[in-house]
C-alpha cells in the first residue's frame, strides 16, 4: 500500500493490524512520531491526517491510504517551523518525547483556527500529556507561535 | 499492546457493508468507524474481532439533515462536525456545548456519533443526549431497515438492542424549538469519562415548564430519563423550588454504578450536583 | 566580557528533538523482538509454563547460570532478598516476568506470549503493609522470619524529658498512596550481539548506564569489557529508569544465547503494572511543643510497603530509611525518636521516584505544623518561623549537616508574594457565598548533590556519588567534555557548557558534552537524586580550571606577561587592562590542544524552598482546583534560570498529581486495577496552574559551583502545600484530609463522616 507523508510517497507492505504509528516508525523509518500508551490517551503519537490532528495509535495504516499525512519530520524545512522555534525559545521541551505530538497538535489547531482564544488553546493543549514541563512553557511557546503565525 | 490479527474490509456502500456484516459478524466481525473506542479495546486484546468492516469511506453514512422538527445524523458523522451549530432550536445550541465535553479534539476528529451510540458506554455524552431527548436510531440489516427508539436501544453497560448483523446508519433527535436547556458533566479531568452528567430541557409556556426532559448519564448502567424528576418540573415555574424537588425525586430512584473509585453515596451526591447545576444552567 | 552562567540561553539539545531526530531506544530497528510472559497472580507456585511448537521461549530453567538481583545495604539489619530475573518456582507479584518469547515483530511477539500456557496455583497474598505484618501472614521470601526486610529505631537521650515537659502534644497520621513515575517513554532495551567480537551493545532507557553495565555483566558472569551500555535520548526517567530492570538482564542473556540483535519495548500496561512503583508509605508523627509553639521533640513511626523484591542498587530499605533519616526536614525539632520499617508484600517493587520518600515525610511534617498551629493558636507561618533552622551549619539528630541556606527568608518571600491577608479577605467573602478557598504552605529542605560519603553512610554495597569529567580542547579550541552523568531532559549539555565556557573564556557553542555511552565516557553514576549539575558540574569546573591554567600559562609565555595578568573571555586570552590578546584557538593550535580531568565527590548540600498553594474545593463535586501556586526557592547559584524554572514546573506538576490524581490501586487479591491511562490519571494542562517562581541564591561552600540541586524540589513540597490548602478550605466542615491523593471520593467520605 502507499502512504503519502510530508509530500512524499512511501510504498509499504503491512498487516491490517499495524497501526499508523507503527507503520510510520517501522515501515517508513520516520521515528519522530513516538508511542507513549498505545490506547489513545497520551497523544505522543499525534500526527496530522487530512489537516486534522489525530492519534496515530488509534488508526490502522490501511485506513490512511489516500490521505495526506504530516509528521514532525515534515514541519521544518531548512529552518525550523515557527512552532518549533518558539518551543526552543520558551524551553517548551525537556526530554523531547512528547514534543512531536504537541507540535503537530498545536500546528493543526492553529492552521484551522488562527484566532484561537487562550481558553480554547488551553483546551487543545490539554489533549496531550507531558511529564517534564508542567505545561507552562508549552503554553507560552504555542501562544507565541500563534501570534507569529497569524502575522504571516 | 498490539491488536490480534484481523481481515480488513472497506466497503463503499451501505449495502456492501451490511452484506459483509451478515457474512462475518457471526464469526466475530465488527464495524470499524472512528475506532477511538474500539481500537484501544483491541490494543488491550479485550476485543479480538476477526474481521473489521471500515465504514468511514461510505459517504451516505456521514452528514446531517433537518427535516421538519427532526435532525437526522448520519452514523459516521465525526464528533467534530458538531463544533459549530448544525441546526436551530435548543438542539442546535446544545450539540456544540455537549460535543466539547467528549474526550479531546484529536479524538473528536475521528470518533463518530453512531460509534458512540453503538458502543453504549454508560458515560457517553451522545448516549445521554439520545436517551434524554427520546431520540431514535435507524439500523440497516440485509432484509431492510429497523427503527429503534432510545428507550429500547440501551440495554446495559456497553450493550444495545442492535442485532450483531445490523449496521447503525442514523440517529434522530428533536430540534426542540424554543426549549430551554441545561447540561452539566462531572469528570475527574476535562475530557474524562463522566462520573455523572445531566441534560435537562423543557418548554416554557405561560410561565411554567412543560414537556420536561431530564436525563442522567455516567451514573447508572444505561443513561435514561427520570420520569419522577420530570413530573416535579412539569407545570411548575422554573426556579429553586421545582428544581430541588426534581433533584430529590431523581435521587430516590437512582440505581448507581459503583467501583473501587465510587461508592453509591458518592455517586448519588454527584448526580444531585449534576442535576442541580444543569437545571440552574437552564435559566440562563 | 560575556558571562554565560546565569543566562537563559536556549538549549543545544533542542534542535534534534524538535525535528523528530531524537534517538530513543525504541527507534532502533531490530530483526527480533522479545516479549515477557508475566504472572497473572500476585502469589503462587508455577506449575507449568509451556509454549506451542515453533515458539522460542526461555524460562528460569534456561537462565540457570544467571545470578539473581540482590542489592545489599549493610545496616539496620537489612535482609538481602534476591530476585531471579525470570521467576523461579514461585511468583510474588502480578506482572512478574516468568518467561520470555522471541519473535520477528512486536505483534508476533505478543501473539506468541499469549499462546504460552502458564499455570500457577495461586497462594495467599499480602497486598497492604498491614497484611504483610499480620501474625499469620505467609513469609514471602524464604529464610526470613517475617516480611520485615529492614527496620530501625532511634531515640535521642533527651527525648523522654523533652516530651514530658511539653505544653502541647499534637499527633497526625498521613497516608501516601502508591505512585508510578510514568515517564512518557516506557522502558526499552535493544541488545546487539556482535559475532565478530562477542560484545553486546545494550542501548536502553537508563539513568545509570555505567552501573547497569557493571551489574548486568556481573549477573551474567561476563567480562564488563564485553558489554557496552548506551543510554541514548531517554524520554523521562524520574527515578524509574535508575533501578536495574530484570528485563534488561534477560534481554542481554538472550542476545548472547541467540548470538543476535533483540529488542524489548515495554508497553504502557506493563509499565504501570511491573515498572517500579513508589511511596506506599504511612507515617504517624507526634510533635511535642512548648507553650510558645517551639518544638521540643518529634516522635514518629514509619511503615513503607516496599513491594515483592528489592530495587538495585538502592535496596528495599531506601524509602523507610530515607524517611527515618530525613523526617525532621528544615525544622529544629530538638529531641527525636523514630521507628521505621519496610514491609515486603505481593506487589510491584518500590524504588525511588523523584523525591523518593520526601514528598511523604514533608506531608507528615507540614500537616503536623498546621495542626499544631491550630491547636496552639498560632498562625501557620508563625509556628514555622519559630521552628525553622536559621543557624548554619546545623546538624540534625540523625547526623545530617545542613549547609548555608535561607529557610526563613525564603518562606517570607513566598508569603509576601502570596499576599496572605488579601487572600484571607477573599476567602471570607467566598465562604459567605458558599465557595471554599484555601491556602496551604509547605517548607522543606532538599538533600542534593551528595557524594559517596552519603551512600557509604547508608551502608549500601554500591556506593555512587563521585563524578569524573574528561575534558579535551582540540587544536581548534573546540572542547569536548565526557561525563559520567546521564541526563534525560535536564539540559546538562547546555548548563555544563555554560560553566565550562565561563572558566575557559569561550562560547558554550564551542563545547560539546558527551554522555550516555560507556565506551565514550569515564565511569560515573548517572543522573538521579538532584546531583548532576552539582557533581558533574563540579567535576567539569575542576577539569576546566586545570585546562584554564594551562591556557593561561601558554598565553603568558606567548604574550610575555605574568600569568596573573591574563584573563580569558570571548574566545581571547588578553592582558588585563590592555588590548594585547591572542585567540584561545591559536593557543590551542600551538600546543595541539589541552587535556585534563576533574573528579568531584562532595558531601552534599541542602537546597530549600517554600511552596504556597491556593485551591478551591467544590463540595458539590468534591473536586479540587489549584488556582495558584507559588514557589520561592533557594538552590544557590542558578546556572541557567530557564532550565531551573523548567525543573520546578515539572516537579510541581508531578507533586500536584501526587496530591490530587495519581494512584496505583490493587484489589484485595493483588490484581492491579490501574492498568491504563484512563485509570491512572496524570495531569493535563488544565490541572496545572501557572507557577510563579521566586529565586534566592545562597552560595554555600558545600558546592564548588555554588549551585545546589533542583530536580526534585517540586515533587517534595507541592503535595503538602496542596493538602494544607485543602484542609484550610474545609475548616468549616471539621474534617481532616491526610491522605494523598486527596481524590473527590476521599473528600466526600470525609465530609460525609463529619456530618
Rg of chain C in Å (alpha carbons): 27
Nearest CA in chain C to B44: C269
C440 pairs with which residues across the strands? C613
- For chains B and C, what is the number of CB pairs under 8 angstroms? 57
Q: How far apart are CA A100 and CA C366, in angstroms?
A: 39
Nearest Cα neighbor of C502 from C611, C601, C637 is C637
Residue percentage of chain A with pLDDT more than 90:
98
- The rounded mean pLDDT for chain B is 97
Q: In B, which residues are within 8 Å of A38 by CB distance?
A: 1-2, 43
The per-residue pLDDT for C462 is: 87
Nearest Cα neighbor of A26 from A66, A67, A56, A6 is A56
SS3 C386: helix
**What ranges in C377-473 are assigned the alpha helix state H?**
380-387, 407-418, 420-432, 452-458
Report whether pLDDT(B284) > 70. no
Q: How far apart are CA A116 and CA A150, in angstroms?
A: 10
Rg of chain B in Å (alpha carbons): 19
Q: How far apart are CA C464 and CA B272, in angstroms?
A: 56
Structural domains in chain A? 2-73 (3.10.20.30), 82-151 (1.10.150.120)
Interface of C with A in 464-493 (CB under 8 A): 488-491
Q: Does A118 touch chain C (CB under 8 A)?
A: no
**DSSP helix, strand, coil percent of chain A (3-state; round to 5):** 40, 15, 45
C583 within 8 A of C542, measured Cβ to Cβ: no
- pTM (two decimals): 0.97
C510 within 8 A of C21, measured Cβ to Cβ: no
Q: Does C104 touch chain B (CB under 8 A)?
A: no
The per-residue pLDDT for C529 is: 85
B282 within 8 A of B93, measured Cβ to Cβ: no
List of residues 6+ apart from C141 with CB closer than 8 A: C79, C81, C147, C344
- Determine the distance in angstroms separating the CA of C684 from the nearest CA of chain A, rounded to an integer: 5
Segment B221-235, tens digit of pLDDT: 999 999 999 999 999
Q: Where are the extended beta strands (E) located within chain A?
A: 2-5, 8-11, 46-49, 52-55, 68-70
Interface test with A, best of C8, C19, C532 (most A CBs within 10 A): C19
The whole-number average pLDDT for the span B96-101 is: 98
Rg of chain A in Å (alpha carbons): 15
Nearest Cα neighbor of C303 from C281, C321, C319, C318 is C281
- For chains A and B, what is the number of CB pairs under 8 angstroms? 83
Q: How far apart are CA C325 and CA C313, in angstroms?
A: 19
The per-residue pLDDT for B252 is: 87
Contact C649 A135 (CB under 8 A): yes
Q: Locate cell 416535579: which residue? A: B232
The per-residue pLDDT for C454 is: 87
Segment C607-640, tens digit of pLDDT: 999 999 999 999 999 999 999 999 999 999 999 9
The dihedral built from the CA positions of residue C554, C555, C557 and C558, taken in this order, carries a sign that is: positive
Q: Which three cell numbers stand for residue C503?
A: 572558566
Read off φ and ψ for residue A26, nearest 5 degrees.
-95, -45
SS3 C113: helix
Chains in contact with B, where contact means 3 or more Cβ–Cβ distances below 8 Å, are A, C
Q: How far apart are CA A107 and CA B21, in angstroms?
A: 38
Structural domains in chain C? 14-21+453-600 (3.30.365.10), 29-124+181-274 (3.30.365.10), 277-452+603-754 (3.30.365.10)
C281 within 8 A of C177, measured Cβ to Cβ: no
Helix (H) or strand (E) holding C82: none
- Determine the distance in angstroms separating the CA of A152 from the nearest CA of chain B, rounded to an integer: 25
Q: Does A46 touch chain C (CB under 8 A)?
A: no
Q: Does A99 touch chain C (CB under 8 A)?
A: yes
B22 within 8 A of B53, measured Cβ to Cβ: no
User: Within its chain, how far is the Cα of B11 from the centroid?
Assistant: 26
Q: How far apart are CA C83 and CA C99, in angstroms?
A: 14
Residue percentage of chain B with pLDDT more than 70:
100
Q: Which three cell numbers stand for residue A89?
A: 525559545
Q: In C, which residues are within 8 Å of A94 by CB distance?
A: 236, 489-491, 646, 650
C402 within 8 A of C329, measured Cβ to Cβ: no
SS3 C603: coil
Q: How far apart are CA C99 and CA C51, in angstroms?
A: 10
SS3 B155: strand
Asked if the bond preceding C313 is cis, omega within 30° of 0, the reply is yes
Segment A96-119, tens digit of pLDDT: 999 999 999 999 999 999 999 999
Nearest Cα neighbor of C739 from C720, C714, C717 is C720
Q: Does C752 touch chain A (CB under 8 A)?
A: no
Interface test with A, best of B2, B8, B106, B111 (most A CBs within 10 A): B106
Contact A126 B104 (CB under 8 A): yes
DSSP count for chain B of H helices, then E strands: 10, 14
Segment A37-81, tens digit of pLDDT: 999 999 999 999 999 999 999 999 999 999 999 999 999 999 999
Segment B241-256, tens digit of pLDDT: 999 999 999 988 899 9
Q: Does B240 touch chain C (CB under 8 A)?
A: no
The whole-number average pLDDT for the span B106-133 is: 98
Q: Locate cell 547460570: which residue? A: C65
Q: In C, which residues are within 8 Å of B278 by CB distance?
A: none
Q: In C, which residues are within 8 Å of B42 by CB distance?
A: none
Contact B2 C684 (CB under 8 A): no
Q: Which three cell numbers stand for residue B18?
A: 451490511
Interface test with C, best of B186, B261, B267, B275 (most C CBs within 10 A): B261
What ipTM score was computed for the predicted complex, to two decimals? 0.98
Exposure letters C141-164 (e unless 16+ CB within 10 A, then b): beeeebbbbbbbeeebeebeebbe
Q: How long a stretch of residues is chain B?
A: 284
Contact C749 B266 (CB under 8 A): yes
Interface of C with A in 215-254 (CB under 8 A): 233-236, 238
**Residue ranges in chain C modelled with pLDDT below 70:** none
Asked if the bond preceding C741 is cis, omega within 30° of 0, the reply is yes
Q: In C, which residues are within 8 Å of B189 by CB distance?
A: 661, 681, 683-684, 686-687
Q: Does B143 touch chain C (CB under 8 A)?
A: no
CB-nearest partner of B54 from A52, A63, A109: A63
Segment B36-56, tens digit of pLDDT: 999 999 999 999 999 999 999
SS3 A8: strand
Contact B106 A16 (CB under 8 A): no
Strands of the sheet with A8-11, listed across from one edge: A8-11, A2-5, A68-70, A46-49, A52-55
Report whether pLDDT(B193) > 70. yes
Q: Which three cell numbers stand for residue C205?
A: 532507557
What is the per-residue DSSP string for C293-343? S-EEEEEEEEEEEEESS--TTT-TTHHHHHHHHHTTTTB---EEEEEEEEE
Amino acid at each position: 500500500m502507499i502512504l503519502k507523508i510530508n509530500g512524499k510517497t512511501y510504498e509499504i507492505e503491512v498487516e491490517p493490524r499495524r497501526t499508523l504509528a507503527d507503520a510510520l516508525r517501522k515501515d517508513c523509518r520516520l521515528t519522530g512520531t513516538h508511542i507513549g500508551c498505545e490506547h489513545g490517551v497520551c497523544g505522543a503519537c499525534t500526527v496530522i491526517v487530512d489537516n486534522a490532528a489525530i492519534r496515530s495509535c488509534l488508526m490502522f495504516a490501511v485506513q490512511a491510504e489516500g490521505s495526506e499525512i504530516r509528521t514532525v519530520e515534515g514541519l521544518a524545512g531548512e529552518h525550523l517551523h515557527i512552532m518549533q522555534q518558539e518551543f526552543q525559545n520558551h524551553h517548551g521541551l525537556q526530554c523531547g518525547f512528547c514534543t512531536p505530538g504537541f507540535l503537530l497538535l498545536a500546528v493543526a489547531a492553529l492552521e484551522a483556527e488562527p484566532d484561537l482564544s487562550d481558553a480554547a488553546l488551553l483546551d487543545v493543549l490539554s489533549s496531550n500529556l507531558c511529564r517534564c514541563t508542567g505545561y507552562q512553557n508549552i503554553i507560552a511557546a504555542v501562544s507565541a507561535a500563534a501570534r507569529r503565525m497569524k502575522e504571516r | 499492546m498490539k491488536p490480534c490479527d484481523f481481515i480488513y474490509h472497506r466497503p463503499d456502500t451501505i449495502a456492501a457493508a451490511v452484506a459483509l456484516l451478515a457474512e462475518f459478524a457471526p464469526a466475530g466481525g465488527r464495524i470499524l468507524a472512528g475506532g477511538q473506542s474500539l481500537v484501544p479495546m483491541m490494543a488491550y486484546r479485550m476485543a479480538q474481532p476477526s474481521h473489521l468492516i471500515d465504514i468511514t469511506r461510505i459517504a451516505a453514512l456521514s452528514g446531517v439533515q433537518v427535516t421538519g422538527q427532526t435532525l437526522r445524523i448520519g452514523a459516521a458523522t465525526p464528533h467534530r462536525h458538531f463544533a459549530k451549530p448544525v441546526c436551530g432550536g435548543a438542539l442546535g445550541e446544545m450539540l456544540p456545548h455537549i460535543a466539547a465535553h467528549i474526550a479531546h479534539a484529536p479524538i473528536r476528529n475521528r470518533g463518530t456519533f453512531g460509534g458512540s451510540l453503538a458502543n453504549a458506554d454508560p458515560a457517553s455524552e451522545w448516549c445521554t443526549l439520545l436517551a434524554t431527548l427520546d431520540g431514535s436510531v435507524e439500523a440497516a440489516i440485509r432484509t431492510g431497515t429497523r427503527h429503534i427508539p432510545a428507550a429500547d436501544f440501551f440495554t446495559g453497560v456497553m450493550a444495545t438492542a442492535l442485532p450483531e448483523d445490523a449496521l447503525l446508519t442514523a440517529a434522530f433527535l428533536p430540534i426542540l424549538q424554543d426549549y430551554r436547556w441545561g447540561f452539566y458533566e462531572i469528570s475527574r479531568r476535562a475530557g474524562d469519562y463522566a462520573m455523572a452528567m445531566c441534560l435537562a430541557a423543557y418548554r416554557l409556556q405561560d410561565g411554567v415548564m412543560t414537556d420536561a426532559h431530564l436525563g442522567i448519564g455516567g451514573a447508572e448502567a444505561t443513561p435514561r430519563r427520570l420520569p419522577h424528576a420530570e413530573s416535579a418540573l412539569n407545570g411548575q415555574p422554573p426556579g429553586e423550588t421545582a428544581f430541588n424537588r426534581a433533584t430529590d425525586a431523581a435521587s430516590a430512584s437512582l440505581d448507581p454504578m459503583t467501583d473501587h473509585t465510587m461508592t453509591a453515596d458518592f455517586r448519588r451526591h454527584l448526580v444531585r450536583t449534576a442535576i442541580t447545576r444543569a437545571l440552574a444552567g437552564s435559566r440562563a | 566580557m560575556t558571562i554565560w552562567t546565569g543566562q537563559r540561553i536556549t538549549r543545544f539539545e533542542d534542535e534534534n528533538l524538535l525535528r523528530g531526530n531524537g534517538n530513543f531506544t525504541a527507534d532502533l530497528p531490530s530483526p527480533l523482538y522479545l516479549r515477557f510472559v508475566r504472572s497473572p497472580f500476585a502469589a503462587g507456585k508455577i506449575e507449568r509454563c509451556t509454549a506451542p511448537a515453533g515458539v522460542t521461549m526461555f524460562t528460569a530453567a534456561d537462565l540457570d547460570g544467571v545470578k539473581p538481583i540482590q542489592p545489599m545495604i549493610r545496616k539496620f539489619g537489612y535482609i538481602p532478598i534476591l530476585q531471579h530475573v525470570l521467576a523461579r518456582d514461585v511468583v510474588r507479584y502480578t506482572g512478574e516476568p516468568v518467561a520470555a518469547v522471541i519473535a520477528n515483530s512486536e505483534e508476533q511477539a505478543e501473539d506468541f506470549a499469549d499462546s504460552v500456557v502458564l499455570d500457577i496455583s495461586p497462594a495467599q497474598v499480602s497486598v497492604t503493609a498491614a497484611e504483610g505484618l499480620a501474625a499469620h501472614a505467609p513469609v514471602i521470601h524464604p529464610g526470613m522470619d517475617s516480611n520485615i526486610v529492614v527496620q530501625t529505631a532511634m531515640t535521642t537521650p533527651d527525648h523522654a524529658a523533652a516530651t514530658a515537659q511539653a505544653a502541647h502534644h499534637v499527633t497526625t497520621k498521613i497516608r501516601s498512596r502508591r505512585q508510578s513515575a510514568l515517564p512518557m517513554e516506557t522502558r526499552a532495551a535493544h541488545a546487539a550481539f556482535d559475532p565478530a567480537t562477542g560484545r553486546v551493545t545494550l542501548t536502553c532507557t537508563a539513568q545509570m548506564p555505567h552501573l547497569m553495565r557493571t551489574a548486568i555483566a556481573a549477573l551474567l558472569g561476563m567480562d564488563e569489557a564485553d558489554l557496552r551500555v548506551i543510554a541514548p535520548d531517554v524520554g523521562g526517567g524520574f527515578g524509574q529508569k535508575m533501578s536495574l530492570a530484570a528485563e534488561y538482564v534477560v534481554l542481554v542473556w538472550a542476545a548472547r544465547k541467540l548470538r543476535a540483535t533483540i529488542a524489548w519495548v515495554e508497553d504502557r500496561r506493563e509499565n504501570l503494572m511491573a515498572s517500579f512503583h513508589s511511596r506506599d508509605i504511612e507515617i504517624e508523627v507526634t510533635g511535642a511543643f512548648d507553650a510558645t509553639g517551639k518544638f521540643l521533640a518529634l516522635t514518629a513511626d514509619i511503615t513503607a510497603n516496599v513491594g515483592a523484591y528489592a530495587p538495585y542498587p538502592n535496596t528495599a530499605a531506601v524509602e523507610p530509611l530515607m524517611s527515618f533519616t530525613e523526617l525532621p526536614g528544615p525544622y529544629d525539632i530538638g529531641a527525636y525518636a523514630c521507628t521505621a520499617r519496610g514491609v515486603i508484600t505481593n506487589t510491584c517493587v518500590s524504588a525511588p521516584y523523584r523525591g523518593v520518600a520526601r514528598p511523604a515525610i514533608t506531608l507528615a511534617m507540614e500537616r503536623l505544623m498546621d495542626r499544631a498551629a491550630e491547636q496552639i493558636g498560632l498562625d501557620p507561618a508563625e509556628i514555622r518561623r519559630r521552628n525553622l533552622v536559621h543557624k548554619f551549619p546545623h546538624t540534625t539528630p540523625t547526623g545530617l549537616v545542613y549547609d548555608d541556606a535561607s529557610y526563613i527568608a525564603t518562606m517570607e518571600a513566598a508569603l509576601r508574594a502570596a499576599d496572605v491577608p488579601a487572600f484571607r479577605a477573599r476567602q471570607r467573602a467566598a465562604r459567605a457565598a458558599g465557595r471554599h478557598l484555601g491556602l496551604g504552605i509547605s517548607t522543606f529542605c532538599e538533600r542534593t548533590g551528595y557524594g559517596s560519603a552519603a551512600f557509604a553512610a547508608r551502608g549500601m554495597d554500591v556506593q555512587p556519588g563521585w563524578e569524573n569529567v574528561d575534558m579535551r580542547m582540540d587544536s581548534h579550541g573546540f572542547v569536548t567534555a565526557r561525563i559520567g552523568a546521564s541526563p534525560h531532559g535536564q539540559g546538562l549539555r547546555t548548563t555544563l557548557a555554560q560553566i565550562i565556557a565561563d572558566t575557559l573564556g569561550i562560547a558554550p557553542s564551542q563545547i560539546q558534552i558527551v554522555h550516555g555511552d560507556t565506551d565514550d565516557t569515564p565511569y560515573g553514576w548517572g543522573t538521579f537524586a538532584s546531583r548532576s549539575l552539582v557533581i558533574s558540574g563540579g567535576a567539569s569546573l575542576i577539569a576546566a580550571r586545570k585546562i584554564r591554567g594551562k591556557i593561561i600559562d601558554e598565553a603568558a609565555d606567548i604574550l610575555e606577561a605574568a600569568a596573573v595578568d591574563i584573563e580569558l573571555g570571548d574566545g581571547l586570552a588578553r592582558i588585563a587592562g590592555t588590548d594585547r590578546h591572542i585567540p584561545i584557538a591559536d593557543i590551542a593550535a600551538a600546543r595541539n590542544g589541552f587535556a585534563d580531568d576533574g573528579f568531584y565527590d562532595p558531601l552534599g548540600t541542602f537546597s530549600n524552598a517554600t511552596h504556597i498553594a491556593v485551591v478551591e474545593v467544590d463540595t458539590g463535586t468534591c473536586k479540587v482546583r489549584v488556582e495558584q501556586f507559588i514557589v520561592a526557592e533557594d538552590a544557590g547559584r542558578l546556572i541557567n534560570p530557564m532550565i531551573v524554572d523548567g525543573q520546578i514546573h515539572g516537579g510541581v506538576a508531578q507533586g500536584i498529581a501526587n496530591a490530587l490524581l495519581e494512584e496505583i490501586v490493587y484489589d484485595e487479591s493483588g490484581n492491579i486495577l490501574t492498568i491504563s491511562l484512563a485509570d491512572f490519571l496524570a495531569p493535563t494542562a488544565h490541572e496545572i496552574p501557572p507557577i510563579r517562581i521566586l529565586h534566592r541564591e545562597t552560595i554555600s561552600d558545600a558546592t564548588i559551583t555554588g549551585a545546589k540541586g533542583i530536580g526534585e524540589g517540586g515533587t517534595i513540597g507541592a503535595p503538602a502545600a496542596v493538602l494544607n490548602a485543602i484542609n484550610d478550605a474545609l475548616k468549616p466542615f471539621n474534617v481532616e484530609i491526610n491522605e494523598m491523593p486527596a481524590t473527590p471520593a476521599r473528600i466526600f467520605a470525609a465530609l460525609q463522616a463529619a456530618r
